[in-house]
């Protein structure tokens, strides 16, 4: 096991160094004239690549190395479309040919024909079944034995032992490879293309095409691995085997039927492709062996063509180098500035970008505030990065003011840097001890007709003291981009401030509107209740009195019951009028020190009978250290009673449940909170939004008057508290009532006693 593991690791290390595999001399002689042409045709090159596994792998790897997504490169067509023609030509001009001795030793021609047959059969099968793109099946077929190609090309003498072991019989190909190398070509092929970044679907084909059952986690859409497996079997069955001693033991018809093909159809596909291969192997360079002179001339021509491409590319790269560097700098800077939302972030990004790009010893970009009252800037150095983010008050001293704004230079021709000492004196006075020796330069940060600020920097070190024209242009371009970013950041800041101001105004308007509506409703209610008490109570008294007189004279029980109903309903109307008057003109609270825990338990005890009747438990959970609160105990108890009763009624509609009355000590905020929760059906958003509106009830008409929660809300507010309600359909309701504990009064300086004080709201910070 130690020897096998060591041998396997040696083979893996060998393949880890492989970026490209050589091809057959005949294929080389076929491809090179196509790419050496003065006007190479992509279609002709593609046809040549589609018959060779190593060329297909080289092209696919080139497309992925150029930054294309591997999942999008699932065919040779897609790979060629993703690669510039000159890059493809340059890559193919540098191909290597396998030595003739290696071809004979490792039986490479037999393997090459097998791979091509498998690829062509895969393409035909995919066309027939329609679940896999034919061009994808062709590529998968070409690559399915790439691991075996690599082993035979790189280790021909060792692989010869595998072929001899197969010739002796009694062993399969993968087993023979594992005995000699410690690993088989399927696993090595998967590792090789995984390092090259090939798509996962192709890696699975290379790894699993020998397995009768593909693991569920690796079954690709359309059955790509199964298609290549069937094609591999058909190729070997029709004479395109990997080695001379190969025997076919599997039933090809059964494999075909799993893909929806009959055995007869599979046999027809095999015959069709075998005939096509025999007709085309000659032009494709797979039949005749080229002479050494032919190969030498082809490689010499390829070298000449490569030299031409190199010289042309060098001239173009030299011409574009300056612009490319500038564009890359500006692109990186622009990408960094795109995520900046404040002027500080913009200044820091500009300073770091300029330092990294030009190696400035000191970089100080600054911006003048829109109102002209201050300057904001950052100081960045090579050694310390962002060392200070400073703000300078312009109005503090006249001598330290930045120079006035001047007309901006158009962005197409940015202002060149100039010496900073004559114009940026204020900066040297403010930051002088931290700037060090010069010389210093400054370039204005301008946009349209206004100067927003400047970029001040020092070259320093061993570099020349004068800027090159290239550096001057790049720095001016950096300042131009910084101007746009600073203007955007200032606009964002103004927009945020405006939106916050509008939101606050809107909140105040909504609160004032809501309060106005409540006051108007209560005023209307008060006026109506006062009038109703006079206009309705008198007729009611007459009705009730006459009904009582009539009832006293009646001997018939039925008549007496009818008259008693009239009396009861008259009394009910009178009670409603009395309740309305009490709501419209509530009594003023009489605050006193109240134990909140005792108050909560008192409310729960009084409602236990009502809860039991509704199959609802009423539980009290309290923080025993809760301090006393200054409230009217009767009013707060009435409010809590109404809230708990609402919870009990909600649970009764859900056929029972639990109402919890919690008392919490808010030590950090100096408060006490009553929390009433129920596991009833909850309220929908419409009902929850109007929970505190008088006369609005979420119950059926006639069951409640809609004054319970409004009265509780009114009582809580009158006692200096806050009340909120949260409810979600199906998740119950939670009502929170909070009262604030007054701050301890300071000790009286004369007698040392504390002065009592009441607080009507939360403590102020």
Looking at 455, 476, 497, the residue that finishes a domain is 476
Q: Which residue has the higher pLDDT, 286 or 653?
A: 653
Query: For the chain, what percentages of helix, strand and coil (3-state, to nearest 5) are there?
Result: 60, 10, 30
CATH, residue 685: 3.30.565.10
Instruction: Report residue 743's pLDDT band, with 50, 70 and 90 as the boundaries.
Output: confident
- Tokens 């069955």 -> residue: 237
168: pLDDT strictly greater than 80: yes
* 551 and 597 share one domain: no
* 356 and 283 share one domain: no
- Alpha-helical (H) ranges within 421-468 are 425-435
Q: Which residue has the higher pLDDT, 639 or 580?
A: 639
Q: Which domain holds residue 541?
A: 536-584
Token pair for 396? 């503090």
Q: What is the mean pLDDT of the chain?
A: 81
Predicted pLDDT at 695: 64
- Mean pLDDT computed over 646-668: 85
- Mean pLDDT computed over 308-318: 61
Predicted pLDDT at 231: 93
Cβ neighbors of 101 (< 8 A, separation 6 or more) are 156
Predicted pLDDT at 500: 79
* 554 and 597 share one domain: no
400 DSSP assignment: G
The CA-atom distances, in angstroms, between 235 and each of 116, 244, 261, 703 are: 9, 14, 16, 85
Q: Which residue has the higher pLDDT, 322 or 103?
A: 103
Q: Is residue 755 part of a domain?
A: no
482: pLDDT strictly greater than 50: yes
* 221 and 153 share one domain: yes
Q: Are strands 418-419 and 440-447 parallel, antiparallel or unpaired?
A: antiparallel
Predicted pLDDT at 764: 41
- Mean pLDDT computed over 297-319: 66
Cis omega (within 30 of 0) for bond into 260: no
Q: Is residue 313 part of a domain?
A: no
Query: How far is Cα 364 from Cα 370, in angstroms, rounded to an integer?
Result: 19
Predicted pLDDT at 751: 46
Closest CA to 98 of 355, 289, 359: 289
CATH, residue 400: 3.30.450.40
Predicted pLDDT at 121: 94
pLDDT, tens digit, 9 for 90 and up, residues 43-93: 999 988 998 999 999 999 999 999 999 999 999 999 999 999 988 988 888
450: pLDDT strictly greater than 70: yes
Q: Is residue 492 part of a domain?
A: no
Query: How far is Cα 59 from Cα 49, in angstroms, rounded to an integer?
Result: 8
Which range has the worst mean pLDDT, 81-85, 437-441, 629-633? Answer: 437-441
Contact between 210 and 178 under an 8 Å Cβ cutoff? The reply is no
Token pair for 539? 């007729």
Query: How far is Cα 244 from Cα 434, in angstroms, rounded to an integer?
Result: 81
* 560 and 467 share one domain: no
* 573 and 597 share one domain: no
Bridge partners (DSSP) of residue 364 are 456
* 569 and 605 share one domain: no
Closest CA to 290 of 104, 28, 34, 48: 28
Q: Is residue 175 part of a domain?
A: yes
* 388 and 253 share one domain: no
* 685 and 566 share one domain: no
Long-range contacts of 250-257 (CB under 8 A, 24+ apart): 250/212, 255/226, 255/229, 255/230, 256/230
Closest CA to 727 of 682, 691, 686: 682
Task: Give Cα 759 to chain centroid, integer Å.
Answer: 47
Instruction: Report residue 142's pLDDT band, with 50, 70 and 90 as the boundaries.
Output: very high
Query: How far is Cα 11 from Cα 23, in angstroms, rounded to an integer?
Result: 20
pLDDT, tens digit, 9 for 90 and up, residues 320-369: 565 666 677 777 888 888 888 888 899 999 888 888 888 888 889 999 88
* 561 and 437 share one domain: no
Q: What percent of the chain has pLDDT over 70?
A: 82
pLDDT, tens digit, 9 for 90 and up, residues 552-581: 888 888 888 888 888 888 888 877 777 676
Q: Which residue has the higher pLDDT, 470 or 16?
A: 16
Q: Is residue 722 part of a domain?
A: yes
Q: How many domains are there within the chain?
A: 4
Predicted pLDDT at 130: 92
Contact between 716 and 596 under an 8 Å Cβ cutoff? The reply is no
Q: In 190-323, which ranges are E strands? A: none
463: pLDDT strictly greater than 60: no
CATH, residue 200: 1.10.3210.10
Query: How far is Cα 402 from Cα 366, in angstroms, rounded to an integer?
Result: 10
- Tokens 């190398």 -> residue: 181
| Highest-scoring range by mean pLDDT, 175-189, 361-375, 546-560 | 175-189
pLDDT, tens digit, 9 for 90 and up, residues 419-433: 888 888 888 888 878
Contact between 337 and 346 under an 8 Å Cβ cutoff? The reply is yes
* 256 and 348 share one domain: no
758: pLDDT strictly greater than 50: no
Q: Is residue 328 part of a domain?
A: no
140: pLDDT strictly greater than 90: yes
Q: Is residue 308 part of a domain?
A: no
pLDDT, tens digit, 9 for 90 and up, residues 187-212: 999 999 999 999 999 999 999 988 87
Q: Which residue has the higher pLDDT, 696 or 743?
A: 743
Predicted pLDDT at 696: 63
pLDDT, tens digit, 9 for 90 and up, residues 122-139: 999 999 999 999 999 999
Query: How far is Cα 264 from Cα 316, in angstroms, rounded to an integer?
Result: 59
Polymer length of the chain: 765
Q: For the whole prediction, is pTM greater than 0.75?
A: no
Q: Is residue 318 part of a domain?
A: no
Contact between 739 and 671 under an 8 Å Cβ cutoff? The reply is yes
Phi, psi of 26, rounded to the nearest 5 degrees: -65, -40
Q: What is the torsion angle, in degrees rounded to the nearest 10, for the CA atoms of residue 757, residue 760, residue 761 and residue 763?
A: -10
* 558 and 626 share one domain: no
Query: How far is Cα 678 from Cα 653, in angstroms, rounded to an integer?
Result: 12
């Amino acid at each position: 096991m130690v020897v096998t593991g060591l041998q396997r690791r040696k083979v893996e290390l060998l393949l880890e160094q492989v970026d490209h595999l050589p091809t057959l001399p005949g294929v080389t002689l076929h491809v090179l004239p196509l790419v050496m042409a003065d006007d190479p045709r992509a279609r002709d090159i593609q046809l040549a690549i589609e018959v060779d596994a190593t060329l297909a792998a080289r092209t696919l790897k080139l497309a992925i190395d150029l930054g294309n997504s591997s999942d999008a490169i699932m065919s040779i067509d897609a790979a060629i479309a993703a690669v510039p023609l000159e890059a493809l030509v340059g890559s193919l001009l540098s191909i290597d040919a396998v030595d003739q001795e290696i071809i004979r030793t490792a039986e490479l021609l037999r393997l090459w024909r097998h791979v091509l047959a498998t690829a062509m059969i895969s393409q035909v099968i995919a066309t027939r079944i329609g679940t896999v793109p034919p061009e994808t099946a062709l590529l998968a077929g070409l690559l399915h034995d790439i691991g075996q190609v690599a082993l035979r090309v790189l280790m021909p003498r060792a692989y010869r032992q595998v072929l001899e072991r197969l010739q002796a019989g009694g062993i399969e190909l993968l087993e023979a490879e594992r005995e000699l190398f410690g690993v088989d070509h399927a696993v090595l092929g998967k590792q090789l293309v995984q390092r090259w970044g090939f798509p996962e679907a192709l890696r699975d084909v290379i790894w699993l095409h020998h397995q009768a059952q593909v693991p569920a986690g690796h079954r690709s859409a359309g059955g790509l691995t199964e298609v290549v497996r069937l094609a591999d079997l058909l190729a070997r069955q029709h004479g395109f085997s990997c080695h001379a001693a190969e025997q076919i033991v599997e039933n090809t018809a059964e494999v075909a039927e799993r893909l929806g093909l009959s055995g007869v159809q599979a046999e027809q596909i095999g015959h069709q492709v075998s005939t096509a291969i025999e007709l085309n192997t000659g032009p494709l360079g797979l039949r005749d062996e080229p002479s050494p002179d032919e190969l030498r001339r082809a490689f010499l021509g390829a070298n000449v063509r490569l030299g031409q491409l190199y010289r042309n590319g060098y001239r173009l790269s030299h011409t574009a180098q300056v612009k490319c560097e500038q564009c890359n700098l500006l692109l990186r800077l622009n990408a960094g500035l795109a995520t900046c939302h404040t002027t500080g972030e913009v200044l820091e990004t500009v300073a770091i970008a300029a330092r990294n790009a030009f190696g400035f010893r000191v970089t100080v970009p600054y911006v003048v505030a829109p109102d002209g009252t201050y300057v904001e800037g950052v100081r960045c150095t090579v050694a310390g990065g962002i060392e200070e983010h400073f703000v300078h008050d312009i109005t503090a001293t006249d001598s330290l003011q930045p120079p006035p704004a001047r007309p901006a230079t158009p962005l197409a021709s940015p202002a060149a840097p100039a010496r900073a000492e004559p114009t940026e004196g204020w900066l040297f006075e403010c930051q002088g001890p931290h700037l060090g020796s010069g010389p210093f330069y400054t370039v204005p940060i301008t946009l349209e007709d206004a100067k927003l600020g400047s970029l001040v920097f020092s070259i320093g070190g061993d570099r020349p003291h004068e800027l090159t024209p290239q550096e001057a242009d790049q720095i001016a371009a950096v300042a131009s981009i910084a101007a746009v970013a600073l203007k955007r950041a200032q606009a964002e800041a103004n927009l945020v401030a405006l939106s916050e101001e509008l939101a606050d105004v809107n909140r105040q308007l909504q609160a004032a509107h809501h309060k106005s509506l409540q006051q108007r409703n209560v005023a209307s209610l008060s006026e109506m209740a006062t009038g109703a008490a006079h206009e309705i109570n008198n007729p009611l008294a007459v009705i009730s009195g006459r009904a009582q007189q009539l009832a006293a004279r009646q001997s018939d029980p039925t008549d007496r019951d009818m008259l008693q109903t009239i009396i009861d309903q008259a009394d009910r109307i009178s009670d409603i009028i009395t309740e309305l008057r009490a709501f419209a003109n509530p009594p003023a609270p009489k605050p006193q020190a109240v134990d909140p825990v005792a108050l909560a338990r008192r409310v729960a005890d009084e409602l236990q009978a009502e809860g039991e009747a509704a199959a609802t438990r009423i539980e009290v959970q309290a923080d025993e250290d809760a301090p006393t609160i200054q409230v009217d105990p009767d009013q707060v108890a009435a409010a809590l009673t109404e809230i708990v009763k609402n919870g009990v009624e909600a649970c009764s509609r859900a056929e029972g449940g639990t109402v919890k009355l919690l008392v919490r000590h808010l030590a950090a905020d100096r408060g006490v909170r009553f929390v009433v929760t129920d596991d009833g059906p909850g309220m929908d958003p419409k009902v929850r939004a109007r929970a505190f509106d008088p006369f609005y009830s979420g119950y059926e008409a006639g069951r409640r008057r809609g004054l319970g929660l409004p009265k509780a809300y009114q009582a809580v507010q009158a006692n200096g508290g806050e009340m909120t309600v949260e409810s979600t359909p199906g998740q119950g309701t939670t009502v929170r009532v909070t009262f604030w504990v007054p701050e301890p009064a300071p000790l009286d300086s004369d007698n040392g006693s504390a002065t009592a004080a009441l607080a009507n709201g939360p403590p102020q910070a």
